[in-house]
A and B are shown apart, each in its own frame.
Chain A
Amino acid sequence: MRLTCPCCGPRDRREFTYYGHETFLHRPAPDAGGQAWDDYLHNRDNPAGPTRDLWYHDPCGTWLVVARDTVTHAVEGSEALA
């Protein structure tokens, strides 16, 4: 598997650390209620198909969102987070 680091270019999967689904980018408001916070912290889908998740490129220190497909293993693209 190869991912494209927006800073360094296409790199081997060994250089990346997986963090989880992009849900972590959508933090609920403090008063959003227990269900919203439960979903944010704990509840994840297990998608067969397109998904977007967070990866960290260890060598250069860039956080990225990767769009990929868990069925075909195609990597659609990636973008830097900050």
Chain B
Amino acid sequence: MADLTVTEATDGLGLPLAMGDCILSAQAPGTAWLIAPYPGRRAACSAALAPLGLSFPAPGQGLAGQGLAAGGRRIVWAGRDQAFLFGAAPPEGLAEHAALTDQSDGWAGLRLQGPDAEAVLARLVPLDLRIGAFPEDHVARSLLGHMPLLIQRTGPETFALMTYRSMAGSAVQEIGHALKAVAARRRLG
């Protein structure tokens, strides 16, 4: 049997990239299962997710697992009647209530951290990402330039970004340009 080598979507893209006071680094999503509840089954999905300490998230919501949270298990809203389950396999019984697809290798994950992270993303993402409008753990599906984006604020100055794997190179390049421009403006004072 062939011995395949796993390569992350962001390998060879020159990460981490530190510029100004921000750092762009790779943050592989690990296992990512898309959960799409069948019509009217959201509550049943929440019940099936309960053993993981999770429930089906409301729009814009990202939930970290309670109690069993070790291992970075979390569920993140990802569109209308869609959510991503990260860091865990779908619990038994969930498949009766939702369509499940393993999309682990379809996405590239990035992490942008620093005091200027909001200013950098303001150049690319058409959302109000200030902490008052987009507080910690909030999630949105939007755009990064012309690329589809799933974004979550994971800390006061930290964002998790996900885009399609095939677009990882463009995403890093675009964010790199924005980092450079914001850093240059800072230097001008």
Q: Which A residues lie at the B interface, using CB under 8 A?
A: 7-9, 11-12, 14-15, 58-62
Give the docked Cα–Cα distance between A9 and B127 (Å).
Answer: 11
**Of B59, B60, B82, B142, which one neighbours A15 at CB under 8 angstroms?**
B142
Give, as a whole number of angstroms, the nearest-CB distance from B65 to chain A. Answer: 24
Which of A7, A12, A15 interacts with B80 by CB under 8 Å? Answer: A7
Give the docked Cα–Cα distance between A62 and B148 (Å).
15
Interface residues of chain B, those whose CB is within 8 Å of chain A, are: 59-60, 79-80, 82, 126-127, 140-143, 148-149
Given known contacts A59-B148, A60-B59, A11 and B142 CB-to-CB distance under 8 angstroms:
yes
CB pair A8–B59 under 8 Å, yes or no, is yes
B59 touches A12 (CB 8 A): no
- By Cβ-Cβ distance, the 10 closest A-B pairs, closest first, are A59-B141, A12-B126, A60-B80, A60-B79, A61-B80, A62-B80, A7-B59, A7-B80, A61-B79, A14-B126
Question: Which among B82, B126, B149 is the interface contact of A11 at CB below 8 angstroms?
Answer: B126
With a 10 A CB-CB cut-off, give which of A7, A9, A15, A60 has the most chain B CB atoms: A60
Chain B residues within an 8 Å CB radius of A15: 126, 142-143
Are A8 and B60 touching (Cβ within 8 A)? yes
Given A11-B127, A11-B142, 17 other A-B contacts at CB below 8 A? A7-B80, A8-B60, A9-B60, A11-B126, A12-B126, A12-B127, A14-B143, A15-B142, A59-B79, A59-B141, A59-B142, A59-B143, A59-B149, A60-B80, A60-B141, A61-B80, A62-B80
